[in-house]
Amino acid sequence: METKKPIDLLALQDKLKQEEQSKSLADANSLSEEEIASYEKAQREVNIERLRIENEDLRLKLNIQREIHILEQQRLILENNTRNLANEDQKQDTQERKKYAQRIFWMLCSWLVIVLAAIVTSGSKAWDFHLSDAIVLALIGSMTANVAGFFFAVVKYLFPEKGNNK
Beta strands in the chain (DSSP E): none
Q: What percent of the chain has pLDDT over 70?
A: 80
Residue of higher predicted confidence among 97 and 13: 97
42 pLDDT band, cuts 50/70/90, is confident
Q: Smallest Cα–Cα separation from 122: which of 111, 110, 134? A: 134
pLDDT at 34: 80
Check pLDDT > 70 for residue 33: yes
CA 36 to chain centre: 64
Pairwise CA distance, residues 109 & 136, whole Å: 18
Residue of higher predicted confidence among 13 and 133: 133
Residue of higher predicted confidence among 67 and 20: 67
Backbone phi and psi for residue 48, each to the nearest 5 degrees, phi listed first: -65, -45
Highest mean pLDDT pick, 34-48, 74-88, 112-126, 137-151: 74-88
User: How confident is the model over 62-102, as pLDDT tens digits?
Assistant: 999 999 999 999 999 999 999 999 999 989 988 888 888 88
Q: CA 73, 75, 81 angle in degrees (round to 5)?
A: 105
Q: Are 121 and 107 in contact (CB under 8 A)?
A: no
Q: Are 113 and 148 in contact (CB under 8 A)?
A: no
* Whole-number average pLDDT of the chain: 81
The residue type of 58 is L
